[in-house]
Structure 1
Amino acid sequence: MKTKYLNKKFGVALALLGLGFTLTQSSCTKNFEKYNTNKYNATDSLLKIDGEGYGSFLIPMQLGVVNSTNYNFQVQQNLNADIYSGFMMSGDPFNGGVNNTNYGLVSGWNTAAFDLAYPSIMSNWQSVYKKAATAAPDFLAVAYILKVEGMHRLTDIYGPIPYVQFGKGGLSTPYDSQQAVYNEFFKELDIAIASLKTYVAAHPGATPMAAYDLIYGGDYTKWIKFANSLKLRLAMRISMVDPTTAKTQAEAAMNDAGGLITTNADNAYVKAANGVTFTNPLWSVDYEYTDINLGAPMECYLKGFNDPRLPAYFLVNKNGEYRGIRNGVPISSTSQYADASNFNLTNTSPIRFMAASEIYFLKAEAALRGWNAGGTAQSLYEQGINTSFDQSAVSSSTYLNDAKSTEAPYVDLSSATNNVPAGSPYLSKITVKWDEADTYQHKLERIITQKWLGLWPDGEEAWAEFRRTNYPVLMPVVVNNSQGTISTTGFIRRLPFSANEYRDNKDEVTKALSLLNGPDNGGTRLWWDLATKN
C-alpha cells in the first residue's frame, strides 16, 4: 500500500457535536496537503448555489459510499470485502506478509470503513436533514437513500453500529443491533419513496437536484426505482434470519408502482458530472499502486463456464493468459504474482452501486422461496444472466443451455502447493443450465453463483451474499494468521470494531459487545448470518 492510513481522532461523539470534520491521511508521498483536503466538502460558495445549501451535501455522500479517493478506498473496501468476496487478491506482501489477505487482520486498515462512513455519509445526511426536512423534502429523500446505501455496507462489515440515535443529542451515540439498524433502513426507504412520489406527482419532469446528482442527473423516477431495488436487496439479506419481515419488505418493493431497476439504463453508477471529476479508485489501486489483481475463484468460474464476460472484466497477462491469485497464499515479494491479470477498466470508469442484473437474481431467489416475484425462478434467473451479458456487451448462444461445464481447477502462478485440482471440495460442481428437478440448494447455488459473477466489481455486496448463503463455493485461505479466531474453512465473517472507537467512544462500543453473537473478532457471524442455511 503506497499510502499509510492514520486518521486523527474521530469518534461518533464528534459527529454528534455538529462540528466540521477533517479526516486526515498521513502519506509517505509529498502531496500531503492535496491528500488531506477533501475537495468535495461543502464550501461557502457551494452552499449559496441552492439558497439553503442542502444540495451541496449530497455530492460527498455519493462519493463517500465507495470512497472515490484511492488511498481511502483501498482500506475502506479493497483490502477486505473485495478480497474476501473471491473477486480479487493482492500480490503485495503487506506488513511482512501477515495481513488481511491471510486473516492477520491489520487494525489500522480495518478502522477505515467505520471512520470514513460517519463524516462522509452520516454527518452530511444530518446537514441535509436539518436544512431540507421542510424546505426540500425531495432532497432529504435522496439523502435517505444514499444514507441507507452507504450504511448498509457498514453494518454488513461490522454488525452493530451507531445509527438510530445519531444526531439526537449527547456526547456519544449508542450502538444498535443489526436487526434494529435494518428495521430503520426499511422505514427510511419508505419515507424516501413516498416523498419522491409526492414530489413527482406534483412536479412531473422537474429535476431540482440535477446540479448535485452524479447518478441520475436529477431524475427522481429513477431514484424511486433505486430505493425499491435497495429495499429488495436488504429484504433478501435478512431472508434466512427473519423470513417474515423479508417477505413483507421484498413483496412491497417488487409490487410498488414506482418500479425497480430492471434495465441497464437505470443502473445506479456514480459518474463524473457537473464539474465533479474523480479517478476510479479501483483503477488506481490496480494500475497506480499495482496492489490488486484478479482473484482465483473469479478466474476459475469464468474459465470453467466459458463465460464471455471474462475479457469484458479482465485483461490477459504478457503471456496472453487470464491468471488469478488464491486468497491467503504465502507471498514474499511482489514479483511472485506479477503475471496475475489486471482489470478491464479505466481511470474514468464509473463507480457501481447497483445494476439491473442483481435485481433479477434477487427476484429469482424470491420466486424460489415461493414469494410473489412476478415470474418463475428459472425465467428470472435467465433474465439476470442475459441482463448482465447486455451490460458487458457480450453474448452467447450456448451459455444458458450448458449443463456440463463447471468451475475450472486452479493452477497457481507461483507454487503447485497452492493449486486446487479437479475433484476438490473447494471447486463447485454447479452448472449454468437451470434444472427444475434439482434440489432447492442447487437452485439457490445456481442463482447466487450467477448473481456473484454479475456483481463484479462490487466486492462489498459479493462478500455479503457469500456469507449469507455460503455461495458461490470459494477456496479457503492457504495460510491462516488469525491465531485461531477465524476458521479456515468457515471463512472470515466480519471485521472487528474500529480501534478508534475503543479509544474515543469506549463506553458505547464496550456495551455493543453484548449485541454480537460472540467475541469482537473476524470469526463472529453477523445477525443475518446466524440462521441455518435454507
Structure 2
Amino acid sequence: MKRLFLNIAFLALLTGTFSSCKKQLDENYLNPELTTTGSMSKLLSGMYLNKRIHPSYWDYYTFVMAYTGAFSQTVALSPGAQMYIPSTSYTENRWVDFYDGVTGTDYNYDGPGIMSNYREMQTTYNALTASQQEEQVVFLKIAEVIVYDQASQMIDLWGDIPFSESNSLNTTRSLSYAKFDDAASLYDTMITNLKSLNTYFDTATVATTQATALSTGDLMFGGDLSKWQRYANSLRLRLLMRISNYDESTAKSEVTTMLNDAGTYPMISSNDYNAVVWMNSTTLRSDLNDVFTGYPYAPAYLLDTMMVANGDPRTDVFWDAGKNGFKGFPSNGTSSQYDAGGYATYDSATFFYNYNIPAVLMTAAEVSFLKAEADERWSIGTAQTDYENGITQSTAFYYSINNKMVLKTGDYTTLTAPTATTISTFLLQSAIAYSGTTTEKLAKIYTQKWMNYFILQAGQAWAEYRRTGYPVLHFATSTSASGSTPPDRLLYPSSEQLYNSANYSKVSAKDTRDTKIFWDVN
C-alpha cells in the first residue's frame, strides 16, 4: 500500500474548537488530504481523530475484538474453523489507517492517518521562519510521542514496517516507494529519541502566541508539557521492557537509570496523569453497543479463574452476570454453547451503552506493573509496592470510566468504587498476594498487567502475552489448515506485494504467521 502515497488532493483549512457540535469537531483539525497550507495545532488534533486511537466501532468490531482481544483471550471468540485467520481486508485497513487514514467525517469509520498528519506537520514546520519554528516546535515534539506509540504498535503487529521513507507525498510532494525499516532498529531509534524528548519537555515553555492553539489542539493534555514528559518516559519504559528479553543489558541499564532518578525521569505515577482522551456525547463518542452485541461474552479464564475465584473488585465494573451468573465462556467451548448463551457479558453502563469509553494510550497501572517487573528482575525498587499500586490504580481507573459514563440508553446508577479495605483483602488472596518464587511473582505481575489492559488496550495485552508467555492460556484448536492456533504476527497487506513489490521482496521471507516479532524470544 502507499504509506508513501499520501493523500492526493491537498486543500481546505479547517478551523474551530473541540466542543459541543459535530461541525465544530470537523473544523478542529486539518486534514492533510485536503490542504496545501498546514496548521500545526489542527494537524495535531487530527491525530486524535484516527480511528485506531479513539474507541471506534470499526476498530473494535473488525480488529480489537476479533484479533488482538481474541488472541490475548480478553475476548471470548465464537468457535469456528477460521477463528484464528484474520481477514486480509480488515488487517489492511488497520495498516492504511496508520499511514494514510480514510477521508470522511464519520469517525466510527473514517479519520486521518497518523503518519500523513505527522509528515504534513514536518513539512509545515520546515516552511516556517526560524522564529516561527522556535515557537511551534512544541507541536512537532508532542506529535513525535504519539507517532512513536502508534509506530511501536504497528511493529508489534507486523515486525518490520515502512517508516523513515513513508508518506513521501506529505514531505517531497512526489511519489516514492518506502523501504521496510528493521523493527529492532526502529525500536532503538524510538527509545533514544524518547530520551531526548524527556529533556525537551523538562525545560520547554509555550510561547504566548501559541498557548491557545496548543491548548485547543492537544485534546488529551491541553498543552500541559509536564504530562507529555511523563507520557514520553512511560512509553520509553514500555518499549525498554518490551525488548528486555531480547536485549536485557540495554533494557536493564536504561530502566535502572530512569527508575533511580524519578526527578529527571517522571512517569505516569497516578491516574491524574493518565494518557487518556475522554469522549464527548455529541461530537466524538465511543458508540460500541453493536460491538458488544456481536462479541458479548466474558472469557472463562479471565472471569472465572482470575476474577470470581479471587473476589476481584473489578468484577462488577467489567461484567454483567448472565443466566449462569458470573460465568465466562470456556476456551474449549463449542459453537452450540456459544449460541445458547447465558454467560456473563460486558458491563452495560461501563461498556455496552457508554458513549464515554476513553481512548487509552497509557495508564498509571501499566507503569506500576512495568516497574514491578523491573524491580523483581533487577532489584531496583520495591516490587510488591509497585505491584499492589498497579492493582489499586487499575481498579480506580475502571470505576472512573463507570462514574463518567454518558449513556446511549437506559438508566444505570454509577457503581461505588471499592474501599481500601476491600482492595487490601483482595491483595491477600493466595493467587494474588505477592509471594512465592521469582517466577511465581513475575507471573502474577504479568497476569495483572494483562487484566488491566483488558479490551481497552488489547494490542498491548497480545504483545505482552507473546513476550512473557503469561498468563498461561489454553486455546481451542481449530480445524483450519491455514492456522489452527493464534498467529505470532499479522501478514503484510497484499497491496504491499502489488504496489511496493521491490521493497516487499526484501522482507517477504519474514511474511509468515509464525514468524515471531524480534522481541518475542520465548
TM norm structure 1: 0.77
Aligned to 1:71: 58
Aligned to 1:386: 392
Query: More displaced, 149-158 or 167-176?
Result: 167-176
Alpha-carbon contact 1:266-1:356 (below 8 Å) kept: yes
Does 1:243 pair with 2:248? Answer: yes
Q: Give SS of 1:269's match.
A: strand
Q: Give SS of 2:502's match.
A: helix
Structure 1 unaligned spans of 5+: 1-9, 23-33, 404-430
State the AA in 2 paired with 1:11.
Answer: K
State the AA in 2 paired with 1:230.
Answer: L
CA distance in 2 between partners of 1:496 and 1:376 (Å)? 41
Does 1:271 pair with 2:278? Answer: yes
Q: 1:508-519 alignment to 2 at 5 Å?
A: 508-514=503-509, 516=510
Alpha-carbon contact 2:453-2:460 (below 8 Å) kept: yes
Aligned to 1:53: 39
Q: Give the aligned CA root-mean-square deviation in angstroms.
A: 3.1
Aligned to 2:300: 296
Aligned to 2:447: 449
Aligned to 2:72: 85
* CA shift in 2, pair 1:394/1:522, >3 Å: farther
Aligned to 2:474: 475
Shift of residue 296, structure 1, vs aligned partner:
2.4
- Aligned partner (choices 484, 488, 497) of residue 492 of structure 2: 497
Aligned to 1:406: none
Shift of residue 464, structure 1, vs aligned partner:
0.7
Shift of residue 339, structure 1, vs aligned partner:
4.5
Query: More displaced, 56-65 or 360-369?
Result: 56-65
Q: Give SS of 2:5's match.
A: helix
Does 1:321 pair with 2:325? Answer: yes
* CA shift in 2, pair 1:330/1:21, >3 Å: farther
Shift of residue 369, structure 1, vs aligned partner:
1.7
State the AA in 2 paired with 1:218.
Answer: G
Map Cα deviations across residues 161-187 of structure 1 (whole Å, 9 max, x no partner): 111333566611111121011012113
Shift of residue 494, structure 1, vs aligned partner:
1.1
CA distance in 1 between partners of 2:391 and 2:87 (Å)? 37
Alpha-carbon contact 1:75-1:112 (below 8 Å) kept: no
Aligned to 2:377: 369
Aligned to 2:14: none
Sequence identity (%): 26
CA distance in 2 between partners of 1:350 and 1:39 (Å)? 21
Aligned to 2:191: 186
Query: More displaced, 376-385 or 253-262?
Result: 253-262
Q: 1:123-272 alignment to 2 at 5 Å?
A: 123-132=116-125, 134-135=133-134, 136-167=136-167, 171-200=176-205, 208-254=213-259, 255=261, 257-272=264-279
* CA shift in 2, pair 1:59/1:252, >3 Å: farther
Alpha-carbon contact 1:330-1:478 (below 8 Å) kept: no
Shift of residue 212, structure 1, vs aligned partner:
1.6
What is the total number of aligned residue pairs between the two structures?
A: 454
Map Cα deviations across residues 149-204 of structure 1 (whole Å, 9 max, x no partner): 1111111011111113335666111111210110121133234323322323988x
CA distance in 1 between partners of 2:46 and 2:480 (Å)? 36
* CA shift in 2, pair 1:280/1:449, >3 Å: same
Aligned to 1:507: 502
CA distance in 1 between partners of 2:362 and 2:93 (Å)? 23
Aligned to 1:426: none
State the AA in 2 paired with 1:379.
Answer: T
Alpha-carbon contact 2:92-2:493 (below 8 Å) kept: yes
State the AA in 1 paired with 2:72.
Answer: S
Shift of residue 387, structure 1, vs aligned partner:
1.8
* CA shift in 2, pair 1:337/1:38, >3 Å: farther
Does 1:358 pair with 2:366? Answer: yes
Aligned to 2:519: 528
Shift of residue 363, structure 1, vs aligned partner:
0.5
Alpha-carbon contact 1:283-1:347 (below 8 Å) kept: no
Aligned to 1:402: 429
Map Cα deviations across residues 217-265 of structure 1 (whole Å, 9 max, x no partner): 2211111101110100110000000112212332344335251001111
CA distance in 1 between partners of 2:220 and 2:153 (Å)? 18
* CA shift in 2, pair 1:298/1:114, >3 Å: same
State the AA in 2 paired with 1:156.
Answer: D
Query: More displaced, 504-513 or 328-337?
Result: 328-337
Alpha-carbon contact 1:117-1:150 (below 8 Å) kept: yes
CA distance in 2 between partners of 1:151 and 1:107 (Å)? 20
CA distance in 2 between partners of 1:284 and 1:56 (Å)? 31
CA distance in 1 between partners of 2:473 and 2:376 (Å)? 23
